[in-house]
Amino acid sequence: MKLPQSPLSGRALAAGAVAVATLMTGGSVAGSASASESAAVADAPDIPIANVKAHLTQLQSIATANGGNRAHGRPGYQASLDYIRAKLDDAGFTTGVQEFTASGRTGYNLVADWPGGDADQIVMSGAHLDSVASGPGINDNGSGSSAVLETALAVARSGYQPAKHLRFAWWGAEELGLVGSRHYVDNLGAADREKISGYLNFDMIGSPNPGYFVYDDDPTIEKTFKDYFAGLGITTEIETEGDGRSDHAPFKNAGVPVGGLFSGADYRKTSAQAAEWGGTVGEPFDPCYHSSCDTTANIDDTALDRNSDAVAYAVWELSQ
C-alpha cells in the first residue's frame, strides 16, 4: 500500500540529503540523482495493518474487561490511555496528560511530542480515544486512535527527524461534545496556537461499509490526502456527514489549518458511492455506530489499512 513518490514541488535539497533520506526509511528514492526534486523527500512508511489491528484487539479487551466500554470517566478510558501512553513512552516520546472535568468526572487528554524539529512549526495529529457508554468504540474511535499511535511508532522506528516538530494527541470526552480537544485549544495561548502549522483529525477510519471522505478545509492538507488516494486509484469525496462533529472543530475555530479523513458513520451509502467503492447500497457506512456491536468485527481491514497509510503519508509530507 506504499505510494510511489508523488511529484510535489519545491522540495529540492542538497544531494547529501538523498542518502540521508534513503538511510532513514530504508526505502528507495525515486529517479536518479538528477531528479533532486523528488529524491530529497523522505518516503513515508507503509503502516503495517497487523500492528494497527493488534491495537484494536487490545482496546477491545480493555472494553470487555471494563463493562463493555471505554467511555469518559469510566475505567475503560483510563486503561485505554495507559495502554497508548506506555507504547509511546517506550518508543521515546515525551508524553503528558492534561486533565479536565466533564459531567462531573475527570477527563484526560494524552499528548505526545517527538523530540526535535522546529518548535515554531508543529504538525499535530489526533484522534478521540473515548467511546460512547453503549459500546467498545472500535471503529469509533479505536480506528483513528490506533492509526495515529502506529504512525507515531513508525516515526520512532524510522528515526525520522523532520524539519517541523511532530505532536500526537488522543482526546478525552469527544463523545460528550468535543470537550477534551476544546479544553486543549482553549488552554493554548495565542502564541502557541500560531505555532501549529496544521491539525490532522482521524475519527472513524475503518467503517465496515466504507467511504473515503476527506475534510474540505485547509487546501494543502486536503490535497495531500487526495494525492495519496489518487495514487491508489481511489476516488474520494468531501466529508459532509456533519462538519464540526469532531475534534478538528475547536482547532478550526481558533484559526488553525485543519484536515482529516473519515470512512462514514450513520449515513447510508448511495448507489453512486457503491459503484465507486464497493460495499452495500442503502446500508449505513457503519451500522454499529454508537452501538454495542462496534467491536473488532466492525472494521473493514482494507479501509483501515489505506487510511492508516494515508495518516503516515500526510504526517511525512507535511513535516519536511
Q: Which stretch binds ligand TRP (CB under 6 A): 2-10, 54-62, 241-249, 251-259?
A: 241-249
Contact call for residue 222 and ligand TRP (CB under 6 A) = no
Name which of Ca ion, Zn ion, ligand TRP, none residue 276 binds, using a CB cut-off of 5 to 8 Å depending on partner kind.
none
Query: Which is nearer to ligand TRP, 160 or 262 (by Cβ)?
Result: 262
Name which of ligand TRP, Zn ion, Ca ion, none residue 305 binds, using a CB cut-off of 5 to 8 Å depending on partner kind.
Ca ion
Contact (Cβ atoms closer than 8 angstroms) between residue 188 and residue 195: no
DSSP 176: G
Contact call for residue 105 and ligand TRP (CB under 6 A) = no
Cell for 233? 486509484
Binder of Ca ion out of 47, 62, 303, 314 (CB under 5 A)? 47
| Pairing label, strands 196-202, 164-171 | unpaired
Query: Which is nearer to Ca ion, 309 or 317 (by Cβ)?
Result: 309
Query: Which is nearer to ligand TRP, 21 or 204 (by Cβ)?
Result: 204
Contact call for residue 140 and Zn ion (CB under 5 A) = yes
**Is 174 part of the annotated catalytic residue set?**
yes
Q: How far is CA 179 from CA 12, 101, 124, in A?
A: 42, 9, 18
Contact (Cβ atoms closer than 8 angstroms) between residue 290 and residue 205: no
Q: Which residue type, as a one-letter code, is found at position 158?
A: S
Cell for 39? 529524491
**Rounded least distance, CB 98 to Ca ion, Å:** 31
Stretch 56-85 residues interacting with Ca ion (CB under 5 A): none
Outline where DSSP puts E strands in 131-252: 164-171, 196-202, 213-214, 237-238
Contact call for residue 174 and ligand TRP (CB under 6 A) = yes
Q: Secondary structure of the chain: what % helix, strand, coil (to 5)?
A: 40, 20, 40
Contact call for residue 265 and ligand TRP (CB under 6 A) = yes
Name which of Ca ion, ligand TRP, Zn ion, none residue 262 binds, using a CB cut-off of 5 to 8 Å depending on partner kind.
ligand TRP
Catalytic residue among 174, 175, 222, 239: 174
State the residue number with the nearest CB to Zn ion: 140
x/- map, 111-150, ligand TRP, by CB under 6 A: -----------------------------xx---------
CA distance 36 to 124: 28
CA distance 70 to 109: 14
**Rounded least distance, CB 288 to ligand TRP, Å:** 12
CA distance 146 to 308: 9
Contact call for residue 286 and ligand TRP (CB under 6 A) = no
Give helix 301-319 / helix 219-231 axis angle, nearest 10°.
130
| Pairing label, strands 164-171, 105-114 | antiparallel
CA distance 72 to 274: 35
Contact call for residue 300 and ligand TRP (CB under 6 A) = no
Binder of ligand TRP out of 184, 212, 225, 262 (CB under 6 A)? 262
Report the interface residues with Ca ion, using CB under 5 A. Answer: 1, 46-47, 305, 309
Would you please indicate which residues are annotated as catalytic (active-site) residues? 174
